[in-house]
Structure 1
């Protein structure tokens, strides 16, 4: 249940669709996280490159962890430019009980920041500038390690 989109996410549309899905499955907890591009350092947008095969593998491993706890994960992420004050990332956990969902969303979002094969660029004056100071090297990334 990984979704990739060109440009900014339509948070309201995705949230409504996910909420309806969770209600249909009779989950008692639906916890979301939405990442919004902040206006800072003179950027007009962030831009994202995604290595989809590894991202899907990483997500599938998390989906299995969630399943073992009786939960389901959903995630949406942007590819390309995302203007300030719009969303590039959404994650959700569905679970019969709130405690599992609360714990899992925290673990998932933190691991996403550390290990998902997504590279971030600042966009200033229409130019993409690799955000090296805010990036983390992926473990065993080899050729995927940028700069």
Structure 2
């Protein structure tokens, strides 16, 4: 089972991962990461744009790689685009496997790729205007450990 989506509207992470128990009788572990818009630096909004011909196909390819590499029962990868506000979920990655380590590593691997890939452009609206958000050095270091 792979559920890979881009959404323009808010989503409920709990409702997304509720499908895992039905996905396979071999399921032994589910690991989920939900990233939300942080209110730090007086952020009023976060805008995510993307390159449409590349984003969803690349996300699906990443899901396939993660499923094969970590022998997953399933993977959910949902990412918002458009205008978001503090406290709203941006991304949900949930991996189901027969054992916990595979699920944990798969979520970590997937998030490291999502954080550093150039499929999304982010900017924050703060009281003094818009600010582009670039991946941090730590994001690139996190990604490099999977090579």
TM-score, length-scaled by structure 2: 0.76
Which of these residues, 79, 82, 94, is aligned with residue 84 of structure 2? 82
Q: CA deviation at 1:56?
A: 2.0
Residues 101-141 of structure 1: per-residue CA shift (max 9 Å, x gap): 011111110111011501101123596x2414x347xxxxx
- Show structure 2 runs of 5+ residues with no match: 137-147
- Show structure 1 runs of 5+ residues with no match: 137-147
Instruction: Give the direction of change, closer, same or farther, for the CA distance of 1:17–1:122 in structure 2 (3 Å limit).
Output: closer
* Match status 1:47 vs 2:47: yes
Q: CA deviation at 1:48?
A: 0.6
* Match status 1:3 vs 2:1: no
Which of these residues, 108, 111, 118, is aligned with residue 109 of structure 1? 111
Counterparts of 1:95 and 1:116, CA distance in 2: 28
Counterparts of 2:79 and 2:59, CA distance in 1: 12
Give the aligned partner of residue 145 of structure 1.
none
Asked if 2 retains the 8 angstrom alpha-carbon contact of 1:120 and 1:135, the reply is no
Give the aligned partner of residue 132 of structure 2.
131
Give the aligned partner of residue 144 of structure 2.
none
Give the aligned partner of residue 20 of structure 2.
22
Instruction: Give the direction of change, closer, same or farther, for the CA distance of 1:5–1:64 in structure 2 (3 Å limit).
Output: closer
* Match status 1:31 vs 2:26: no
Instruction: Give the direction of change, closer, same or farther, for the CA distance of 1:94–1:52 in structure 2 (3 Å limit).
Output: farther
